[in-house]
Amino acid sequence: MKLPYSEGSVFAVPLRSGGFGIGLVARVAADDSGGVLGYFFGPRREAVPALESVSFLNPRQALRVVRFGDPFLLNGKWPILGMLKNWDRGMWPMPDFVRKDDLTKTAWRVRYSEENLTQAISEAPEPYDSVLERAAVFGAGAVELMLTKLLP
């Protein structure tokens, strides 16, 4: 199946309180699993913006960088605005994540494959109070809730 998005695609995420946040596809799982790495941005917008109005996206300004499932990109619930001009994969890195065991209060820094977003390629001890993003895969609805909380 041909996906309606690719690396560098910019999309709008409807917020549960109204308005929209912005996402950018930084990685797409090569195995057709529907896995995506996305960078997410504010501010909250009242309407779906034109691609030109968000062409300034910068990875350092992302509010969150998470792995997530793509059903809302596939079914059109999240409108795809188009491709970021001058897309350069190297400028949008795959971050490290943290896997925590809350019972033992231990944690590990996890690096995932650039091509297989579910394949951990390395793990190393990490402080339990690490500020790295959790090594989880968000559902599309969870992404909407996350952005709704971040963009009042």
Give the integer Cα–Cα distance in Å for 128 and 109: 10
Residues 104-152: tens digit of each pLDDT:
999 999 999 988 888 899 999 999 999 999 999 999 999 999 999 999 8
Residues 2-55: tens digit of each pLDDT:
899 999 999 999 999 999 999 999 999 877 666 899 999 999 999 999 999 998
Give the integer Cα–Cα distance in Å for 71 and 41: 20
Identify the CA nearest to 36 among candidates 101, 78, 49, 21.
78
DSSP letter at 134 equals B
Q: How many other CB atoms are there within 10 angstroms of residue 46's CB atom?
A: 8
Give the integer Cα–Cα distance in Å for 151 and 122: 33
pLDDT of residue 63: 97
Give the integer Cα–Cα distance in Å for 83 and 24: 9
In terms of phi and psi (left: phi > 0; alpha: psi -120 to 50; beta: otherwise), the region of 89 is alpha
pLDDT of residue 1: 67
pLDDT of residue 114: 85
